[in-house]
């Protein structure tokens, strides 16, 4: 039975330790066959380096991790797979496993809680004698946070790994990222190139902590400024839309009043015409009556 079948079987079997609503989001990855290496820490990994492994499934990442573990390195795993199933499939034993999920669990770490994630890794390296860290699904962390925050996490993690001469393996499904974001991550981490020995990172220009902190603060400030500008633009757009709706309503009201004025003018003209006709009729009747009276008076005077 392969590791993938073991993971599937462990996910199907009921367990008293895992509640029904805490089923693993992903199956445990299938480990590739890898023999322990006598050079370095195994798998051509160099101490003090954080590696980026680009792959659709974290199989190579786990292969490198298991090889280094067999060579005596104490490691921890940060995964999207439910810890119990992952331990059974990969035979991790007592390796600490942190589950990236919003579910409630003793081994769970919220994907947005980057501060707690950083603290857990720091304690493992400083207090737990840790030498090896695996993050098998960086894309899940990216989708739950601002990219700038994830970039700062990787920078902090890279520095911790370098200080403690440990090794970090970061698995990433690169097809989920925009080229510009992927390039930013590749600049921060050492891209793992397969069977070829990983090149030693070139020495970086020394930079004072104050300058580095200032640059990070500038990135955060710029991101916050852009966010505020977006909010201002959204508020301005809402205000313009409200004013446009008000103008439309006022225009409709004016058009209604104009129609009423037109109707009133029509009625006034009609009344004026009726009054003119009545005046003409009255004048005609007055003339006719005057003529009759004169004729009658003339007749009476003749009879006298």
Q: What is the pLDDT of residue 141?
A: 93
Query: What residues have CB less than 8 Å from 16, skipping those under 6 apart?
Result: none
Exposed e or buried b for every residue in 76-92, given b needs 16+ CB within 10 A?
A: bbbbbbbbbbbbbbbeb
In the block, tokens 């809402």 appear at 238
Residue 189 Cα distances to 15, 25, 264, 283, angstroms: 39, 27, 81, 108
To the nearest 10°, the Cα dihedral for 143, 46, 41, 122?
-50
Residue 78 Cα distances to 102, 108, 133, angstroms: 14, 10, 8
Q: What is the pLDDT of residue 194?
A: 65
- Cβ atoms of 84 and 15 closer than 8 Å: yes
Q: What is the DSSP letter of 26?
A: S
The edge-to-edge listing of strands for the beta sheet with 108-109 is: 108-109, 97-100, 75-79, 132-135, 167-172, 49-54, 190-191
Tokens of 274: 């009726």
Cα distance between residue 62 and residue 68, in whole Å? 10
- Cβ atoms of 115 and 149 closer than 8 Å: no
Q: What is the pLDDT of residue 96?
A: 92
Neighbour tally for 36: CB within 10 Å? 14
Q: What is the pLDDT of residue 12?
A: 43
Tokens of 50: 């954080």
In the block, tokens 């199989």 appear at 59
Query: What residues have CB less than 8 Å from 192, skipping those under 6 apart?
Result: 51, 52, 53, 54, 60, 64, 169, 198
Is 96 in a helix, a strand, or coil? coil
CATH number of 3-198: 3.40.50.300
Is 284 in a helix, a strand, or coil? helix
Cα distance between residue 111 and residue 189, in whole Å? 20
- Cβ atoms of 72 and 44 closer than 8 Å: no
Nearest to 121 by CA among 87, 143, 153: 153
The tens place of each residue's pLDDT in the chain, 304 residues long, gives: 444 444 445 444 444 344 433 444 455 565 444 343 434 455 578 999 999 999 998 899 999 999 999 998 999 999 999 999 999 888 888 899 999 998 888 889 999 999 999 999 999 998 878 899 999 989 999 999 999 999 999 999 999 999 999 999 999 998 889 999 999 999 999 998 865 444 444 555 555 666 676 777 788 888 888 888 999 999 999 999 999 999 999 999 999 999 999 999 999 999 999 999 998 989 988 888 998 898 888 888 888 7
Q: What is the pLDDT of residue 208?
A: 62
Q: What is the DSSP letter of 176?
A: G
Tell me the H-state helices in the chain.
Answer: 3-12, 59-70, 83-90, 114-126, 138-143, 147-163, 179-188, 209-303
Q: What is the pLDDT of residue 42?
A: 54
Tokens of 209: 């902590």
**Could you tell me the pTM of the whole model?**
0.54
């Amino acid at each position: 039975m392969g590791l993938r079948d073991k993971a599937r079987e462990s996910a199907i079997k009921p367990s008293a330790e895992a509640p029904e609503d805490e089923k693993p989001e992903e199956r445990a990855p299938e480990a590739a066959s890898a023999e322990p290496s006598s050079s370095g820490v195994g798998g051509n990994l160099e101490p003090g380096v954080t590696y980026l492994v680009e792959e659709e499934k974290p199989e190579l990442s786990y292969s490198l991790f298991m090889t280094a573990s067999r060579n005596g390195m104490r490691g921890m795993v940060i995964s999207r797979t439910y810890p119990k199933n992952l331990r059974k499939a990969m035979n991790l034993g007592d390796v600490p496993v942190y589950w990236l999920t919003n579910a409630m669990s003793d081994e769970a770490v919220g994907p947005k809680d980057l501060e707690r994630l950083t603290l857990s890794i720091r304690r493992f390296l400083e207090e737990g004698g840790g030498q090896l860290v695996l993050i098998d699904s960086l894309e899940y962390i990216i989708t739950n946070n601002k990219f700038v925050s994830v970039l700062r996490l990787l920078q902090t993690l890279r520095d911790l790994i370098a200080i403690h001469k440990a090794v970090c393996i970061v698995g990433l499904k690169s097809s989920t990222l925009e080229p510009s974001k992927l390039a930013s991550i590749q600049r921060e981490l050492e891209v793992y190139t397969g069977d070829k020995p990983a090149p030693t990172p070139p020495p970086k220009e020394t930079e004072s902590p104050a300058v580095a902190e200032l640059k990070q603060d500038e990135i955060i400030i710029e991101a916050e400024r852009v966010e505020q500008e977006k909010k201002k633009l959204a508020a301005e757009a809402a205000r313009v839309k409200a004013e446009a709706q008000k103008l439309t309503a006022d225009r409709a009201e004016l058009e209604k009043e104009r129609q009423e004025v037109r109707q009133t003018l029509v009625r006034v003209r009609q009344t004026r015409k009726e009054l003119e006709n009545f005046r003409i009729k009255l004048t005609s009747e007055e003339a006719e009556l005057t003529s009759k009276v004169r004729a009658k008076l003339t007749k009476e005077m003749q009879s006298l």
